[in-house]
Chain A
């Protein structure tokens, strides 16, 4: 009994701590790559070439004073960053890093992932409402509307993948791609899924809640110190997990390209996640921001019908040629 608990606990810690370190270096990578694109140097003072910068940032946020606004709703105000952070961590439970290297290998992994990511709206919504500030509230409303509307097309894309593979278990989705990665037969779906990920994590070019010129910083304006840090960690962990899901669904997870297999499985998976991370950062550096009505129009009038149409097309092809799995 105790041993099982201890094993599970160690498993989780083994996942969470490298994840937090990865998030820290994600921020450093973001700053460095953006600096490279904009022909600057980026952080280069602390440590060798600025490699210790994220740790210094973390320390700075940790020792700052936590400010609680007097008019805020304290309970919800404190609860919101926790909600975001925990939800961003628990979705990692179903992500397989290599064969069998996963905390919970459930049959409905994809559905679990969707459910948890749909709950992520609450952190944003609660924080925006409870901080009793107009900027935060408007940011939260924008962000929640955006997340809800893009989640639908993302879900339909995931159903498309699940239709081709015949299961929602993420491990089996990866194994089904031994012959060919799904990005080739389902190229438009994968592109749409990635764009949905961008919108779901409130990243550029869809970072409306963080529109600095209009809303200072969106739903987390009133947060300082560790509250802000938790939001930050949650957002970036969400980005990483979205990259992981996209690489599992479309780039064959831990499988090496063409069965080369020089490196261990986990490293291939990490490389694929890093590819998506770099894509996220490059998007942020090179693309202008969407206007809000354009964003909504894109979500409801383009992505949703397109995702449905692609779903029906692939279903029709699978039915017509009798290629349906099992």
Chain B
């Protein structure tokens, strides 16, 4: 795996670029920032070792879609766009950024905060797991249900309440709190190292089907072997994830039909078939010159020339 620091750098850069895309006044600039964002996305895919997807991303998004977007933006000539970020919003953003920065520093200094964050992350992930529509393995449920509706945690919270009611010293409260949190977090934290995360993701993407069709013990993107980079994704796509592929195809079809039906507005000036059947052969023809009065004729000639 790649050094997490590089990932953090890339993601923060991506966040900055995303803000830039929305906050720049010049639409062409924001389009160019979007292109940079696409580059970053393909960079992330490269770091994960997904060369095929990275290059496709570059080819499709940066090479085609963003070009079309830029094209339209340049053609439309929208120069004077209002500043999308009013002064109030900017101030708010600054304040939020400052608070976030202070918070980061505090986290760096304080271990209590760190364990708190760990707790938040655990509950968030486990709630995601619980409320997800996809059917998960029993294994994961066992792992996480105990964390989410953990009675020990409730007990501990009650204890803390009791202690606070008894007006015990602050340090003791913190200590018991930290201990209880640490216990709960430990299981999740073990998952967070690369192998545990790998296992987690593997389970997330239908453990049984992956195991039966493609016997490997890794994340889906580790399964892509770049030495036969064309065969692997297609094999996976047409065997294990065939249903997802079909669903994606249907969605694309709906999108295409939607786009066409949006352009075919009801107040179409001409009959559609007539418009499509128009060719230079039957559209350009010579007409007989009508006999008119002299000045009108001259006027016609002027128009023609």
Chain A residues packing against B (C-beta within 8 Å)? 76, 106-108, 111-112, 114-115, 118-119, 121-122, 125-126, 129, 137, 141, 144-145, 148, 151, 162, 167-168, 326
A191 and B192 CA atoms in complex are apart in Å by 54
Question: Contact between A107 and B71 (Cβ–Cβ < 8 Å)?
Answer: no
Of the stretches B103-111, B180-188, B227-235, the one at the interface is B227-235
A76 and B24 CA atoms in complex are apart in Å by 15
A144 and B67 CA atoms in complex are apart in Å by 8
Question: Contact between B67 and A115 (Cβ–Cβ < 8 Å)?
Answer: no
Question: Contact between A118 and B74 (Cβ–Cβ < 8 Å)?
Answer: no
- Which of B32, B228, B230 has a CB less than 8 Å from the CB of A126? B32
| Distance of B60 from chain A, by nearest CB (Å) | 9
Given A118-B59, A119-B58, A122-B35, A167–B51 Cβ distance below 8 Å?
no
- Which of A76, A107, A122, A137 has a CB less than 8 Å from the CB of B229? A107
Q: How many A-B residue pairs have CB under 8 A?
A: 60
Given A125-B74, A141-B75, A111–B59 Cβ distance below 8 Å?
yes
Label chain A's interface by main secondary structure: helix
Question: Contact between A168 and B230 (Cβ–Cβ < 8 Å)?
Answer: yes
Q: Is B150 an interface residue (CB 8 A)?
A: no
Task: Contacts A107-B51, A119-B58, A141-B74 known; list 9 others, CB within 8 Å.
Answer: A107-B227, A108-B226, A118-B59, A118-B62, A125-B67, A141-B75, A148-B68, A168-B229, A326-B231
A129 and B26 CA atoms in complex are apart in Å by 12
Contacts of B67 in A (CB 8 A): 118, 121-122, 125, 144, 148
Question: Contact between A145 and B55 (Cβ–Cβ < 8 Å)?
Answer: no
Chain B interface residue count, CB cutoff 8 Å, equals: 24
Contacts of A107 in B (CB 8 A): 51, 226-230
Q: Is B70 an interface residue (CB 8 A)?
A: yes
Question: Contact between A129 and B55 (Cβ–Cβ < 8 Å)?
Answer: no
Contacts of A118 in B (CB 8 A): 58-59, 62-64, 67
- Which of B52, B59, B70, B229 has a CB less than 8 Å from the CB of A125? B70
| Distance of B305 from chain A, by nearest CB (Å) | 21
- Which of A76, A108, A137, A144 has a CB less than 8 Å from the CB of B55? A108
